[in-house]
Structure 1
Amino acid sequence: MRLYLTTLNPTDSVIDGFLPAAAALGWDVTILTDQPDGYPDHEVIATDVCDPRALIDTIAAHHRPDVVFSNSDHLQAETALAAEYFDLPHKDWRACATAKNKALMRRRLRLAAVEPVRSVRLPPGMAAMPEAVPYPVVVKPAMGVASEDVVLAAGPAELAVAVREIRKRRPDDVLVAEEYLEGPLHTLETLGDGRTTAVIGGFRTTLGPLPHFVEERLDWHPDPPTGHRRHVTAALAALGAGLGACHTEYVITRDGPRIIEVNYRLIGDNCDFLLADLVGVPLHEWILRVHAGEPLPDPFPGVFPGVFPGVAEPYGPGRHSVDLHGAVVSVVADRPGVITAAPPALVPSQAPPLPQDRSTPRNGVRLWHRPLRAVGDRIDPTNTNRDYLGLIRAIGSDRAGIDSAIDAFRAAHPWVIA
Structure 2
Amino acid sequence: MKKHLLMLELNRGPSGIEYLKAAKKLGIFVTLVSFKPTHYLKMEKQLGSSILEYVDNILVIDTHHNINKLIDTIIEYNNIYKIDGVIGTYDLEMLQASLLAKNLGLIGTNPLAVEISRNKFLTRKALYESNIKVPKFALVNGLEEAIEFGNKIGYPCILKPVDGQGSDNVVLITSPEGFKEPIEFHRNNPIYYRGVKKYPKLLVEEYLEGPLVSVETISYQNEVYVLGITDRTVGKPPYFVAETASFPAKIDNEHEVIQMVIDALQAINFDFGPAHTEVIITEDGPRIVEINPRLAGGSISLMMNWSFGRSIHEEIIKMYMGMPFSFESKRRGIGAYLRIFSDKTGILKNIEGIDLAYQVPGIKNIYLEHELGDLVSHNPKGLADGLGVISAFGEDKEEIMKHLYEARSKLNIIVSSSR
TM-score band (shorter)? 0.7 to 0.9
Residue correspondences, number:
384
Matched to 2:160, the amino acid is K
Residue in 1 that maps onto 2:237 = 210
- Between stretches 142-151 and 333-342, larger displacement belongs to 333-342
2:94 to 76, 80, 90: 76
Structure 1 gap ranges (5+): 302-317, 352-362
Matched to 2:328, the amino acid is F
**Equivalent residues of 2:163, 2:199 under 8 A apart:** no
Matched to 1:369, the amino acid is I
Residue in 1 that maps onto 2:9 = 7
The DSSP-based 3-state class of the residue aligned with 2:168 is coil
Deviations, residues 78-123 of structure 1 (Å, cap 9, x unaligned) = 1111111111111110100100100101000101111142101013
**Equivalent residues of 1:191, 1:197 under 8 A apart:** yes
**Deviation of 1:292 (Å):** 2.0
* Distance 1:61-1:345 versus aligned 2 partners, 3 A rule: farther
Residue in 1 that maps onto 2:67 = 52
The DSSP-based 3-state class of the residue aligned with 2:148 is coil
Residue in 2 that maps onto 1:130 = 148
The DSSP-based 3-state class of the residue aligned with 1:267 is coil
**Deviation of 1:375 (Å):** 3.7
TM-score, structure 2 normalization: 0.85
* Distance 1:40-1:344 versus aligned 2 partners, 3 A rule: farther
The DSSP-based 3-state class of the residue aligned with 1:189 is strand
Find out whether 1:162 has 2:189 as its counterpart. no
Residue in 2 that maps onto 1:192 = 219
Distance 2:354 2:32 in 1: 27
Matched to 2:407, the amino acid is F
- Between stretches 76-85 and 368-377, larger displacement belongs to 368-377
Find out whether 1:256 has 2:285 as its counterpart. yes
Distance 2:170 2:312 in 1: 31
Residue in 2 that maps onto 1:379 = 376
Residue in 2 that maps onto 1:226 = 255
* Distance 1:9-1:275 versus aligned 2 partners, 3 A rule: closer
Deviations, residues 381-404 of structure 1 (Å, cap 9, x unaligned) = 542212211210000121232233
**Equivalent residues of 1:5, 1:29 under 8 A apart:** yes
**Deviation of 1:126 (Å):** 6.1
* Distance 1:345-1:334 versus aligned 2 partners, 3 A rule: closer
Residue in 2 that maps onto 1:358 = none
**Deviation of 1:344 (Å):** 5.6
Find out whether 1:335 has 2:344 as its counterpart. yes
Distance 1:177 1:208 in 2: 20
* Distance 1:144-1:128 versus aligned 2 partners, 3 A rule: closer
* Distance 1:148-1:252 versus aligned 2 partners, 3 A rule: same
Distance 1:54 1:276 in 2: 36
Find out whether 1:145 has 2:165 as its counterpart. yes
Matched to 1:190, the amino acid is T
Distance 1:408 1:135 in 2: 38
Residue in 1 that maps onto 2:47 = none
The DSSP-based 3-state class of the residue aligned with 1:262 is strand
TM-score, structure 1 normalization: 0.85
Distance 1:265 1:128 in 2: 30
* Distance 1:379-1:160 versus aligned 2 partners, 3 A rule: closer
Deviations, residues 315-347 of structure 1 (Å, cap 9, x unaligned) = xxx7x33xx22211111223212233304657x
**Deviation of 1:17 (Å):** 1.0
**Deviation of 1:271 (Å):** 1.3
Matched to 2:367, the amino acid is R
Matched to 1:121, the amino acid is L
The DSSP-based 3-state class of the residue aligned with 1:147 is coil
2:317 to 273, 288, 291: 288
Distance 1:403 1:382 in 2: 22
**Deviation of 1:285 (Å):** 0.8
* Distance 1:160-1:191 versus aligned 2 partners, 3 A rule: same
**Deviation of 1:242 (Å):** 2.9
Identical positions, percent: 27
**Deviation of 1:166 (Å):** 3.0
* Distance 1:237-1:128 versus aligned 2 partners, 3 A rule: closer
Structure 2 gap ranges (5+): 41-50, 191-197
Distance 1:44 1:75 in 2: 16
**Equivalent residues of 1:327, 1:394 under 8 A apart:** yes
Distance 2:9 2:69 in 1: 14
The DSSP-based 3-state class of the residue aligned with 2:306 is helix
**Equivalent residues of 1:189, 1:200 under 8 A apart:** yes
2:104 to 58, 83, 86: 86
- Between stretches 31-40 and 265-274, larger displacement belongs to 31-40
Distance 2:298 2:84 in 1: 28
**Equivalent residues of 2:248, 2:307 under 8 A apart:** no
**Deviation of 1:195 (Å):** 3.2
**Deviation of 1:128 (Å):** 6.2
Residue in 2 that maps onto 1:306 = none
